[in-house]
């Protein structure tokens, strides 16, 4: 007998999603070559087991990731809670051109995503990064007009500060904020997560497995493909990666005691941070998808949660989560 997959509510407007989603970025970009047939198998299997919250963005693969999802959406649109993003502008060759939150770009980007996805509406539409040149009120106002037009159901922000979230929510209800949150990235707890809870906004945690590092599968950056952007990530650099392995080793030891994998423990920890949190780990393998999904069935005791907190407090993370240019655009 199939057990219904756990569900969670994001925001106060009625958006219900699977308790763990699927980040689709790595299927088309940033993490080296991938196989389309295998990616499609992962997407179909996710929907088969009840992981219906699929996360993409127009910048992933310069539109190719949305086009990949379109191949599943053609026949399974009603099975999907579809989230995509706009704001990070890239040239056709992949070069980054900056951030655009202007009202005209909001409208054009949405239409382009709808066309690539082959759908009539987007369930959750995020501003991918805050544009410092455009008042957030103007950007969210343009996003609100997409809701009025029936092109978007719910609005979201990504990597926005608590102050920006409050300003945005004064213009139109925000269903979710998506930011990095994991065992080795907890900065959101000091500001953004607090603002979300004040306003009843759900929190979507991207990179909940530390870009794969918290699984224990990555020992050295030279194990990664030449085109894998993690080679440029400060936390994966020589010296830093060795120091960060100490955290992974400690988490792995706790996972062995709990008879689960480090990935499952990391996801279960996030799920226990509050019922308003939905992690969206990415994967290109069905086996990893099943492993991640099983984290929803792990019930951590308060004592186990405290032990994890103690482990985190005793291991300082080495390196920022992005290079300097990327750090300039987070928590904005």
The set of catalytic residues is: 60
Closest by CA position to 50, among listed 10, 14, 7, 1: 7
For the record, the structure tokens of 188 come out as 């959101």
User: CA-CA distance, 142 to 123, in Å (whole number)?
Assistant: 16
User: CA-CA distance, 57 to 60, in Å (whole number)?
Assistant: 6
The CA-atom distances, in angstroms, between 156 and each of 110, 181, 289 are 13, 16, 25
Helices 262-271 and 286-293 meet at what angle, rounded to 10? Answer: 40
DSSP letter for each residue of 270-292: HHTT-TTEEE--B-S-HHHHHHH
DSSP 52: -
User: CA-CA distance, 169 to 189, in Å (whole number)?
Assistant: 19
DSSP 172: S
């Amino acid at each position: 007998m199939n057990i219904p997959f756990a569900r969670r509510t994001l925001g106060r407007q009625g958006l219900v999603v699977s308790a763990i989603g699927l980040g689709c970025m790595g299927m088309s970009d940033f993490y080296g070559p991938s196989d389309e047939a295998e990616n499609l198998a992962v997407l179909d299997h996710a929907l088969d087991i009840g992981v219906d919250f699929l996360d993409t963005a127009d910048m992933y693969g310069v539109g190719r990731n949305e086009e990949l999802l379109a191949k599943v959406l053609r026949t399974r649109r009603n099975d999907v809670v579809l989230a995509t993003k706009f704001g990070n502008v890239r040239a056709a060759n992949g070069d980054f051109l900056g951030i655009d939150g202007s009202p005209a770009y909001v409208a054009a980007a949405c239409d382009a995503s709808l066309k690539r996805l082959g759908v009539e509406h987007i369930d959750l539409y995020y501003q991918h990064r805050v544009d410092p040149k455009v008042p957030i009120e103007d950007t969210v106002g343009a996003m609100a007009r997409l809701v009025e037009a029936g092109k978007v159901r719910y609005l979201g922000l990504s990597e926005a500060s608590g102050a920006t979230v409050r300003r945005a929510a004064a213009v139109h209800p925000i269903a979710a904020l998506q930011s990095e949150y994991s065992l080795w990235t907890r900065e959101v707890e000091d500001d953004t997560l607090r603002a979300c809870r004040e306003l009843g906004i759900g929190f979507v945690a991207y990179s909940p497995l530390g870009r794969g590092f918290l699984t224990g599968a990555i020992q050295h950056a030279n194990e990664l493909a030449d085109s894998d952007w993690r080679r440029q990530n400060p936390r994966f650099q020589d010296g830093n990666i060795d120091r960060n392995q100490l955290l992974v080793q400690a988490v792995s030891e706790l996972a062995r005691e709990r008879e689960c994998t480090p990935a499952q423990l990391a996801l279960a920890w996030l799920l226990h941070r509050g019922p308003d949190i939905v992690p969206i780990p990415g994967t290109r393998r069905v086996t990893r998808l099943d492993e991640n999904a099983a984290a929803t069935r792990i019930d951590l005791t308060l004592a186990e949660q405290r032990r994890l907190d103690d482990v985190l407090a005793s291991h300082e993370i080495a390196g920022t989560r992005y290079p300097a240019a990327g750090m300039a655009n987070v928590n904005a």
